[in-house]
């Protein structure tokens, strides 16, 4: 059976790629140290497959057809789609994990999740930003699980936690010698394109990080209204909650914090036995 050997989460703030010159040297170093810690974890654990849990920002999916939970099943995927991300469009092609995708689809249906098979989805910054720093050679296999954090009504935080629990079980049930990491991306508090853009809610960020680190059941009680109040982009923290669900019971630690103008930032990892 496959081993689930690492579980982590990070912001995917696109300015890391699109506008690195806007970071202060101290903030940039903070991010690089954080990515370095996560990269070390991946290397030490011998990870060969990463399950990326992120929303997609309408660069590939359409607002007229956007699943609550989607599974990218393609053999390979290419990106970025964006012309503003600081990387040449379509310059990165990654190996998918279609066999694991099918396992997740089957296990999900078995457990009552009506998952959507997505086939080939072009990669956007939700998938690419963290991995650009974590696996810059793009030499692993990657399964992208897309959660709807962007187009209300959204799956509840509890549902995302339960989705994560199912994903964890599917990975562990995969008849494969693969060593798998989970990576949730997005958040923390921020507002995208709305009148309150620029605002950050550090108190909400601290509360949610505490709940994530203790992997508390209270995580599931976070409401849409609380996330809305911290900015529409804050809903991406669902992707972190899903990772917590996949390693239910495991505690976590925040390995990096930074509050940038317009975005609360952090990275964390869980203590996976």
Place of tokens 């209204």: 225
Q: Please, which residue, 105 or 192, has the CB nearer to other proteins?
A: 192
Give the span between the Cα atoms of 233 and 197, in whole angstroms.
10
Least CB distance from residue 55 to other proteins, whole Å? 9
* CA end-to-end span of the chain: 15
Q: Please, which residue, 127 or 161, has the CB nearer to other proteins?
A: 127
Place of tokens 């992208």: 144
Q: Please, which residue, 177 or 195, has the CB nearer to other proteins?
A: 195
**Of residues 119, 241, 105, the one with CA closest to residue 173:** 105
Q: Please, which residue, 44 or 228, has the CB nearer to other proteins?
A: 228
Q: Write phi, then psi, for 218 (nearest 5 degrees).
A: -65, -15
* 99: Cα separation from own chain's centroid: 20
Least CB distance from residue 151 to other proteins, whole Å? 7
Region of residue 193 (left: phi > 0; alpha: psi -120 to 50; beta: else): left
Q: In terms of C-beta density within 10 A (0-12 exposed, 13-18 middle, 19 or more buried), how is residue 59 classed?
A: middle
Q: Please, which residue, 124 or 162, has the CB nearer to other proteins?
A: 124
Residues that bind other proteins in the complex, under the rule CB under 8 A: 18, 57-60, 62-64, 81-84, 89, 122, 150-151, 192-199, 232
Least CB distance from residue 261 to other proteins, whole Å? 9
Least CB distance from residue 21 to other proteins, whole Å? 15
Q: Please, which residue, 55 or 169, has the CB nearer to other proteins?
A: 55
Give the span between the Cα atoms of 148 and 61, in whole angstroms.
11
Least CB distance from residue 194 to other proteins, whole Å? 5
Least CB distance from residue 213 to other proteins, whole Å? 29
């Amino acid at each position: 059976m496959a081993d689930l050997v690492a579980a982590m989460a990070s912001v995917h703030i696109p300015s890391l790629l699109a506008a690195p010159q806007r970071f202060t040297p101290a903030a940039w170093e903070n991010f690089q140290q954080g990515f370095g810690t996560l990269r070390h974890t991946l290397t030490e654990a011998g990870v060969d497959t990463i399950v990326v849990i992120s929303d997609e920002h309408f660069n590939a999916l359409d607002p007229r057809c956007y699943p609550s939970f989607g599974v990218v099943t393609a053999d390979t995927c290419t990106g970025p789609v964006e012309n503003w991300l600081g990387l040449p469009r379509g310059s990165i092609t990654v190996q998918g994990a279609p066999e694991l995708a099918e396992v997740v689809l089957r296990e999900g249906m078995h457990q009552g999740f009506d998952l959507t098979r997505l086939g080939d989805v072009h990669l956007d910054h939700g998938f690419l930003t963290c991995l650009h720093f974590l696996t810059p050679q793009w030499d692993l296999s990657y399964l992208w699980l897309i959660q709807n954090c962007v187009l209300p009504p959204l799956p509840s935080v509890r549902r995302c936690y339960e989705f994560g629990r199912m994903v964890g079980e599917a990975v562990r049930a995969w008849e494969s010698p693969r060593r798998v990491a989970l990576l949730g991306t997005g958040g923390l508090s921020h507002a995208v394109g709305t009148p309150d853009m620029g605002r950050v809610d550090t108190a909400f960020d601290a509360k949610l990080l505490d709940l994530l680190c203790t992997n508390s059941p209270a995580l599931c009680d976070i409401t849409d209204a609380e996330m809305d109040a911290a900015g529409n982009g804050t809903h991406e923290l669902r992707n972190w909650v899903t990772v917590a669900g996949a390693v239910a019971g495991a505690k976590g630690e925040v390995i990096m914090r930074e509050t940038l103008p317009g975005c609360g930032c952090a990275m964390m990892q869980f203590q996976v036995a």
